[in-house]
Structure 1
Amino acid sequence: MGRQPTAERGARLLERVLAGVPSGENPLRHVRELPRRPATSVPWPEWVPEALRSSFGRCGVSAPWAHQVEAAEHAWAGRHVVLATGTSSGKSLAYQVPVLSRLAADPRATALYLSPTKALAADQLRALNALCDPDVRPATFDGDTPLAERDWVRAHSRWVFTNPDMLHRGILPAHAKWAQFFRRLTHVVVDECHGYRGVFGSHVALLMRRLRRVANRYGSDPVFVLASATVSDPAGSATRLSGVPCEAVTEDRSPQGARTVALWEPPLLPELAGENGAPVRRSAGAETARILTDLVVEGARTLAFVRSRRGAELTALSARHALSQVDPSLPARVAAYRAGFLPEERRALEKALVEGTLLGVASTNALELGVDIAGLDAVVVAGYPGTLASFWQQAGRAGRAGDSALVVFVARDDPLDTYLVHNPSAVLDKPVEATVIDPSNPYVLAPQLACAAAELPLTEACLPAFGPPAAVRRVVEDLVSDGVLRRRPTGWFWTSRDRPHPGVDIRGSGGEQVAVVEGDSGRMLGTVDGGSSFTTVHPGAVYLHQGTSYVVDELDLESGLALVHREDPEWSTQPREVVDISVLSTESRREFAGEVSVCLGEVAVTSHVVGYLRRLPSGEVLDQVPLDLPEQTLTTRAVWYTLSASSLAEAGLAKSEVPGALHAAEHAAIGLLPLFATCDRWDIGGVSTALHADTGEATVFVHDGHPGGAGFADRGHAALVPWLTATRDAIAACECPAGCPSCVQSPKCGNGNEPLNKAGAVAVLDAVLGAVAAQQPAA
C-alpha cells in the first residue's frame, strides 16, 4: 500500500481500479491525460511588510506566483478585482497579502470575508491565524458563533469571517452595533464567488449592494476582492455580483500535477428490470463505493463527490462494509461529509481530513469549495455536479500538492451524464459557463429592497444601484401599496416594527428549515429546507444520518418538524410529483414555418407529491406508495415550444404516439439543459401535453423551479438549437431499445414514466430543429 512514483500514480491507480471490474464489464468510456503545468514565481511587491513576508515564509511560501501578485496589486491600488483560476492555485494569498498589508499600515482598518459555506470560512480562518499579527484578531461570526462571543467579535475583531446568511440576518440589520467596524472597512473578500448563481446568486448580488450602501453610510468605500473558479467572462460575472466594475486576472501560473481523467459508465444489469421493465444500470453510487473501496485499499487518499446527502451516506456505508471484508482497520478510515451535520460533527470531520486520519470521504459539494485538503491522490465524481465550474473544482481536489493524481467521473443513469461520457469534449474541452443571476427578479428584488429600507431609508439616489430604474421603482411602488413602505420627502421608510430579514430566504430553498427529530429520544438529527420537505421527509421516506437509517413517521410543516424512528429497510425511497402548468404571459414568441413556435414567458406551476417509489440498491423498483399531501403553486418563468398537428403527422407520429413522444422529449430536455445553463436538473421542471389549453397545440414546457425564475429558462430559450440538438443526439445514441433512465426516463416523473416513446422523441425534436433551420423567425 506504499505510494508509487508520483509521475505515474494517477495512471497506476486507474489500472488498480480497472483490475477490480468484474469480468465481461467494460465501464471505461474515455481516458484523458492532462499534462503538468510548471509554476511562475515573482518577487514580493515592495509594499508588502517584511513581517508578513516572513510569516508566509514560515508557512512554506518563499515567493508568490505571478497571478497572485497581479491580483494583489489591483487590490492594493484600490481597484476591485476578481481572480479566476483553478483549484489549488493559491487564490487565498492574493487577497491575504493586500488585506493584511492594509491592516498593518492602518491600525484601525477592518476587513470582511464572505464564503458560501461555514467549512470554507473555518479553514481560511485557520490559515490566517498562522499569518497575521495578533492585533488583527480575526474571528468568525456565523450561526455557530456562541452568543457570548458575538459582542467581542463586533468590538475587537478587525477581520471578520462570515457568510451571506449571517451578513443578511445578523450584521446588516444591526449595523448600528457594527458602526466602528463599518467606519474603517477597507476590503470585502468574496470567496468562491462562482458558487453564487441562480436565486441564491441573485439574492447575494443585492446583498452586496446593501453592504456597500451601509458601508457608505459610515463613510467607507471598500475594495471588493473576489475569488472564483475558472469561468467564462469573470469580469462581467464579478461586476454583476458585486455591483462595482471589476478587473479580471485569469492566467493561472501555479504548478499543477499531471492528472489522469477517466469517464466511466456503469454497466447495464440485464438480470434486473426497472420502472416499466426498462433496463437498469448499476447505480453511480454503488459504482463509486466500489471504486472508493479499491482506492482506499491502495492507500490512496480519496474524496468521492456524491450528489445528495443520502447518496454520500450510502456511498460511505457501502465502502465501509466492503472494506471490513479486506482489513478490519480500514472501515474507520472512511466517512461521509455533508451539510446538515451538527457543527461539532463538521469540525471533527474537517480536522480528520486535514490530519489524514481519514483515507476516504464521500461528500456532497460541501467540500467542493476551498477547504484546504492537501495531498489527495484521487477524486471520484459521482454524477455530473450541474456545471463545468463545479466539475473542475471537484476534479481540482486531486493532486493539490503537485503530484500526479486520478479523477474518475462516474455517470449516473440519466441523459446528461450519458451524453457527457459519450461526448468527452463536452466536459473536457468546453469553456466553463458564465454564472446566471437575475437580481431584477421581482421575487428577489422586493424582499431585498424591503430589507434595505429597514436598514436605511431608500432614496432616489440609491435606487439605480439595485437594478434597472423602471423595475426597481415598480417594486418600490408595490411595497408602498402593500403598506410596508411609506413615501416621505426624503425617501421611502420601513413602516413595521418587525424587521423583514428573518422571513427572507436568500438561498431560495423554499421556506423555513424543518428539523428532523428522533421521536423516541427527542434528539435532533439535522435539518432540511421547507420547500423540499415534501420530497425528502414525507411520511414513509427513508432518511440517513451518519450511516444510520431512519423512517419518517410524520411531517408537521406548521411546527417545522419531521419525526422519525430508527429502522433499516432494504429499500430507499424516491418521491413522485404530478405537475400542471398554465401560461400567465408570453414575453417572446417566434414562429417557424407556421408549424412550430418557440416561446418564453411567465407560468403558474401546480405540483402535487402523490406518492413515492420503494427502490432496492440495485435499482429494481418494489412498488409505489400513495401519499396525501397538499398541492403547491409556483409562479415562475418557462421556455416552451409547440407543434401543429400537421407537423407531428409529417414526422410520422400517429395520434396515439404523440403523448409519449412529447413526454420523452421533455424529460430528456430537462436532463440536458444543465449543459447550457448553470443549473441542476432539480432546479428545473417540465410539463408536456398533446393539447394544451393555453396554446391550443402539442406543447413541451421547461420551467425554472424558483419563484419568479432564476434565469435558466431564459438561457434555454437563448441556446435553443444547441440545447435541443444535444437532447436529440443523447436520445438517439442510447443503447437501450425503448427508453431508460439514461435517455428519456426521469427520476422525478409523477406519471410513473408513462407514456414514453423514445423513437417518437427523436422525431419530435427533428421536427422542431428542422422547422427552425428551414426558416428564420417571422417578424
Structure 2
Amino acid sequence: MTIDIDGDLAAAPTSTLRRLSRGTRSERLLHVQHVPARAEVRAPWPDWVNPQVHAALAGDGISGLWSHQRETADLARAGQHVVVSTGTASGKSLGYLLPVLSDLVDGATAASGRGATALYLSPTKALAADQRARLDGWAIPGLRAATYDGDTPAEERRWIRDHAHYVLTNPDLVHHSLLPGHERWAPFLRALRYVVIDECHVYRGLFGSHLAVLLRRLRRVAARYGVCPTFVLASATVADPAQHAGALLGQPVRAVTRDGSPRESLTFGLWEPALVEGGGEHDAPHRRSAVAESADLLADLVLDGVQTVAFARSRVGVEVLATAARRTVGQVDAALEGTIAAYRGGYLPEERRALEQALRSGTLRGLAATNALELGIDVSGLDAVVLAGWPGTRASLWQQAGRAGRRGSPSLAILVAADDPLDTYLVHHPAALFDQPVEAAVVDPDNPYVLGPHLAAAAAELPLTEADGDYFGPGMLPLLDELASRGVLRRRRSGWYWTRPDRATDHVSLRGSGEPVVRIVERSSGRVLGTVDGERAHSTAHTGAVYLHQGEPHVVTQLDLEDASALVVRGDPGWSTQARTTSSFVLGRTELCCEWGPVGLAFGSVSVTSQVTSFLRRLPSGEVLGEHPLDLPPRTLATKAVWWTMPEDLLAAAGIGETDIPGAAHAAEHAAIGMLPLVATSDRWDVGGVSTALHPDTGLPTILVYDGHPGGAGFAERGFDRAVTWLTATRDAIAACECRAGCPSCVQSPKCGNGNEPLDKAGAIRLLDAVLRHAPSESSRPRA
C-alpha cells in the first residue's frame, strides 16, 4: 500500500481505512491519497442586490459571499455570459441566483405587468425540484417561480406561461414545447433576461451536441421577440469551462474557476477486490464485483457510525447494493437494517424528497445511489463516499467524492475498482487520477446527424434564411439544400419552410440516436415491463433472449422491429444467452493522419455494418448448450473513427505470426475501447471497435475504434489527439493484470459479439509494444 501524505492525515478517515483493510482485506487497499484543506476567500455583498432578496437569504443564515459567487454575480448582472466551474457544495447556485432573483423582483415591483423573466434548465427533474424547494423556502415577496415539465398538469401550464417569473424546466421541454409553441410563450420570451444552464458538464458527446444546437434555436427565437438574454452556466470542474460553455452556447463565455469556498481535508482510498479463480473449464478468472465489495464496505461503515453514500452506475446495481448492505448490517444489529436505503431514478418525487430529508437529518446512515444524487442536490456533509466502479470521468469522481465532508470535519472517499481495464489501470496508477486535470468535454454542434434534424425543427419554429447561418454555422446551407431535396423542407424565395403535417421535433431525440426504443411486453398480460434502446435491441431482446427485469428472468418469444416491441414470458430456463455479431467497416474520408514510422494512425469517416447472426445458450458453469441462428437485418452506422495499421513484418518481428494476428489485434482492440475514457469523456458503451488481420481498404492488419453514434460524438477524435497516452495506458493495463490468459479486467469485453474469441493477451502486449516503439512524444506528434 502506498500512502501519499501532505501534512497530517485526519485521524478519523485514516483509522477508518485501517479498520476496513484489516485481515484478508489487507492487500485490497492499494493507495491512499490526502487532499489538503482549502481556506475560504470572502467577498462583500454587492450593493445592487434587491433588499427583499437580501433579507430572505439572511433569514436562511446566508450572511456573506465567497469570492467566486461575487465574481459570477457581477458578470451576470453586467450582461456577460458566464460559466462558474467550482467544486461540489461550493455554492455555485448563489452566484447566479443573486442577479437573477434581484432583477426578477425589481422588475415585478417596478412594472404593472409581468416584469423580467428567467429560464432555468437542468438535466434532471430532481435537480429542478431541489432548486424549486429552496426558492419556496426563501419565500421572496413578489417572486413567482414554477416548475414546468412533463409532470405539470395542463391547467397549470397556461398560468405558468402567462404569469411565472422564474420557470424551472429541462432541455426536453424547451425542445418539445417551448420552442414549437413559442407564440404561446410570447409574453414570457419578450421579458426573458436570463437563461441558467445548471450542471453543464453533463452536456457532452451526443447529448451535449444536441443541447448546443437547441440553445442556438432558443437564441434565435428569443431574438424574434427582441431579446438577447444573458446565459449563466454552472459546472463541475472541467478542463476548459470557457471553451465548453462557448461551444454549447455558440458565443464567447467568461469563466469563473477560482473556488473561494472552504474545504476540509479529504482522504481518498483506491481499492481493488480480490481476484477469484474460475470454478469451471469455461469460467474465466475474475474479480469480485464492485457492487458486492461496495455493499460490504457500506455495511461496515454504517456499523462504525460513519454516515455514507455508495454510488453505483446502474439502477439495478443500486438496488442490489442496498439490499446486500441491509442484509449484512441486519445480521449484526437488526435495529440498523432500516437505516440503509436505495435512491435512484424511477422513484416517485415525494419518495426521493423523503430520502433526501432523511439523509440530511441523519435518520438514514447509509444510502446506495445512482449519479442522480451527484448533480447538485443538497445532501453534502456526509462522512464518507464509496464509489462502486469508476464513474466515467474525473469530473464525476470529484463531484461524487465531494458529497462527503461535514463543515469542520475531514471526509473519506473510496473508489472500488470494477472488473474493467480502465478501473484496473486507475487503481494501479494513482497519478492518472490525482495528478491529471479533469477531462475536456467534447461537443460537436456541426455534426450533420445532429444539426440536420434541428434545422428542420428550427424551420418549423420560424422559416430559415441565409442570415441564420450566424446561429448554425457554415454547415447550415448544404444541409438545408439536402433537406429540401428530400422533401423535408420546402425552399421558397423568402427562405426554407417546414410544410409537413407532423411535428418536426418528433424526429429529434436529444438523449439518443433517434432510433425508437423497443418496448418489453409481457405476453400474457400486455403489461410493458420496460424498454431497450433501439440500437441494443438486436443483441439483448432478440427471439430466444433471456431478459432480466428486477432480477426476474424472462424469455423473449418474439421481437417485432416494425412495432418496436418484444414479447416475453416469465420463467427461468436455466441458462443465459449471448448474441453473436459479425462486423465490418468501410473507410471513408481521412480527416487527420500521421505516421509513427511503419505504423499509420488516422481519424476520419467510417461506415460500420454489424449483424446479429445467432445466439449462444450457456449454463451457469459456462458450458455452451448450443448456437441458434437468427434472421435479423444488418445495421449500418455512419460515424467517425480512429484506426491504426501495422505491417505484417513489424508484427512478425515482435513474435506475432500470421495466424496469431487475429487474437492479438482483437485483444488490443477490446482493451483500447475500455481505456478510451482515460482521454475522452466517453463510456465503454459509447464506442465500439473492429479489428482485422487484413482490411481491403488499407491492405494491412487494422484496428479501429469508432463512436457509437451517427455522425460521431468526438470520442474517437480525442483518442487520435491523445493516442500516445491512450495506447501506452492500454498496454500497461493489460500487462499489469494478474490473470494468465485474459479476463474482464484486461482484454475480455462484456459486449463482444464474438464471444471473446479469439483473444491473445500476450500477443496484444507484443502488438502494442511494437506500435509504441515508434510513437513520438505526445507533445511532438504532428497533426495533419
TM-score by length of 2: 0.92
Secondary structure of the structure 2 residue equivalent to 1:39? coil
Contact 1:88 1:400 in 2 (8 A): no
**Distance (whole Å) between structure 1 residues aligned to residue 33 and residue 210 of structure 2:** 38
Using a 3 Å threshold, how does the CA distance of structure 1 residues 302 and 24 change in structure 2: closer, same or farther? Answer: closer
Cα displacement (A) at 1:351: 4.9
Q: In the alignment, what sits opposite 1:216?
A: 223
Amino acid at match of 2:138: L
The correspondence for 1:703, drawn from 702, 706, 728, is: 706
Matched, 1:543 2:553: no
Aligned partner of 2:99 in structure 1 is: 98
8 Å contact kept, 1:419–1:730: yes
Other structure's SS at 1:462 match: helix
- Please, which runs of 5 or more residues in structure 2 have no aligned partner? 1-8, 109-114
Q: After the TM superposition, which residues 592-631 of structure 1 pair with which residues of structure 2 at under 5 Å, given as runs?
A: 592-593=596-597, 595-609=598-612, 610-611=614-615, 621=622, 623=624, 628=630, 629-631=632-634
* Runs of at least 5 residues in structure 1 that lack an aligned partner in the other structure: 1-5
CA offset at residue 588 of structure 1?
Answer: 3.2
Change beyond 3 A, Cα 1:777–1:243: closer
Q: Secondary structure at the match of 1:176?
A: coil
Query: Are the structure 2 counterparts of residues 152 and 17 from structure 1 closer, same or farther at C-alpha, using a change threshold of 3 Å?
Result: farther
Instruction: Tell me the residue number matched to 1:57.
Output: 58
Partner of 1:746: 749
Give 2:410's match in structure 1, choosing from 396, 404, 407.
404
2:112 corresponding residue in structure 1: none
Partners of 1:313 and 1:561 in 2: CA distance: 26
Instruction: Single out whichever of 253-262 and 92-101 deviates more from structure 2.
Output: 253-262
- Which whole-Å deviations, capped at 9, do the CAs of 1:31-86 have from their partners, x for residues lacking one? 01212222222221000122212211222211111110110000011111000001
Residue 101 of structure 2 aligns with an amino acid whose one-letter code is L
Task: Give how far 1:255 is off.
Answer: 1.4
- Corresponding residue number in structure 2 for 1:473: 477
Q: 2:284 aligns with which of 271, 278, 285?
A: 278
Deviation at residue 526 of structure 1 after TM alignment = 4.6
Q: Call closer, same or farther: CA 1:337–1:543 in 2, change over 3 Å.
A: farther
Q: Letter of the 2:670 partner, please give it.
A: H
CA distance in 2, matches of 1:184, 1:600: 46
* 2:581 and 2:753 in contact (8 A); partners too: yes
In the TM superposition, 1:579-590 aligns within 5 A as 579-590=583-594
Q: Where does 1:54-203 land on structure 2 (aligned, <5 Å)?
A: 54-107=55-108, 108-203=115-210
**Are residues 1:256 and 2:263 paired?**
yes
- CA 1:315–1:566 in 2, change beyond 3 Å: closer, same or farther? farther
1:457 maps to 2:458:
no
Alignment partner of 1:743: what SS? coil
* Alpha-carbon distance in structure 1 between the residues aligned to 2:641 and 2:458: 29
Bigger mean CA offset, 653-662 vs 188-197: 653-662
Q: How does 1:321-720 map to 2 (within 5 A)?
A: 321-341=327-347, 346-347=352-353, 349-399=355-405, 401-467=407-473, 469=474, 471-516=475-520, 524-535=528-539, 537=541, 540-545=545-550, 549-554=552-557, 555-562=559-566, 577-593=581-597, 595-609=598-612, 610-611=614-615, 621=622, 623=624, 628=630, 629-720=632-723
Q: Which amino acid aligns with 1:84?
A: S
Q: CA–CA distance in 2 between the matches of 1:239 and 1:247?
A: 9
CA distance in 1 between partners of 2:407 and 2:541 (Å): 41
Q: CA deviation at 1:776?
A: 7.7
- Cα deviation for residue 89 of structure 1 reads 0.5
Residue identity opposite 1:722 in structure 2: T
Question: Is the 8 Å Cα contact of residues 310 and 544 (structure 1) preserved in structure 2?
Answer: no
TM-score by length of 1: 0.92
The partner residue of 2:323 within 317, 333, 338 is 317
| Structure 1 range deviating more: 453-462 or 737-746 | 737-746
Distance 2:739 2:753 in 1: 22
Higher relative contact order (CA 8 A, sep 6+): 1
Q: 1:95 to 1:343 in 2, by over 3 A?
A: same
**Equivalent residues of 2:555, 2:571 under 8 A apart:** no
Q: SS at the partner of 2:588?
A: strand
Using the alignment, how far apart are the partners of 1:777 and 1:66 within structure 2? 41
SS at match of 1:300: coil
For 2:569 and 2:356, the matched residues in 1 are separated by 28
Deviating more after overlay: 295-304 vs 53-62: 295-304
Q: Which amino acid aligns with 2:720?
A: H
Tell me the residue number matched to 1:8: 11
Q: Distance in 1 between matches of 2:306 and 2:568?
A: 37
| Alignment partners' CA distance in 2, 1:377 and 1:572 | 40
Matched residue type, 1:422 = H
Q: Deviations over 1:295-334 (max 9, x none)?
A: 2222332221212222222222222222332233433333
Question: Match for residue 274 of structure 2?
Answer: 267
Give the secondary-structure state (helix, strand or coil) at the position aligned to 2:733.
Answer: helix
Equivalent-residue separation in structure 2 for 1:664 and 1:308 (angstroms) = 26
Contact 1:144 1:343 in 2 (8 A): no
Farther-moved stretch of structure 1 (553-562 vs 148-157): 553-562
Equivalent residue for 1:44? 45
Range with greater deviation from structure 2 (749-758 or 505-514) = 505-514
Instruction: Give the distance between the partners of 2:623 and 2:329, measured in 1 at CA.
Output: 28
Cα shift readout 1:266-309 (whole Å, capped 9, x = no counterpart) = 111136358x5532111111111111111222233222121222
Q: Is the 8 A contact 2:619 2:625 kept in 1?
A: no
CA contact (8 A) 1:142 1:166 kept: yes
Contact 1:537/1:562 (CA < 8 Å) preserved in 2? yes
Alpha carbons of structure 1 residues 378 and 520: separation in structure 2 relative to 1, 3 Å: farther
What is the CA-CA distance between 1:400 and the residue it aligns to?
A: 5.6
CA distance 1:404–1:55, shift in 2 (3 Å) = same
Rate the CA distance shift 1:264–1:576 in 2: closer, same or farther, 3 A: farther
CA displacement 1:342-381 (0-9 Å, x = unmatched): 5565555445445544332222222221111132111111
Shift in alpha-carbon separation, 1:515–1:365, aligned structure 2, 3 A? farther
| Rounded Cα–Cα distance in structure 2 between residues aligned with 1:552 and 1:168 | 37
Give the C-alpha shift of residue 557 in structure 1. Answer: 4.5
Q: Is the 8 A contact 2:426 2:433 kept in 1?
A: yes
Query: Within 2, Cα distance between the matches of 1:410 and 1:612?
Result: 32
| Number of the residue aligned with 2:111 | none
Q: Aligned with 2:642: secondary structure? A: strand
- Looking at structure 2, the residues matched to 586 and 434 of structure 1 have their Cα atoms a distance apart, in angstroms, of 24
Shift of residue 169, structure 1, vs aligned partner: 0.8
1:630 to partner: Cα distance: 4.2
Q: 1:778 deviation in Å?
A: 11
CA 1:568–1:362: 2 relative to 1, 3 Å: farther
**For the Cα contact (< 8 Å) 1:258–1:404, is it kept in 2?**
yes
- Displacement of 1:208 after TM fit? 0.6
Distance 1:765-1:317 versus aligned 2 partners, 3 A rule: same
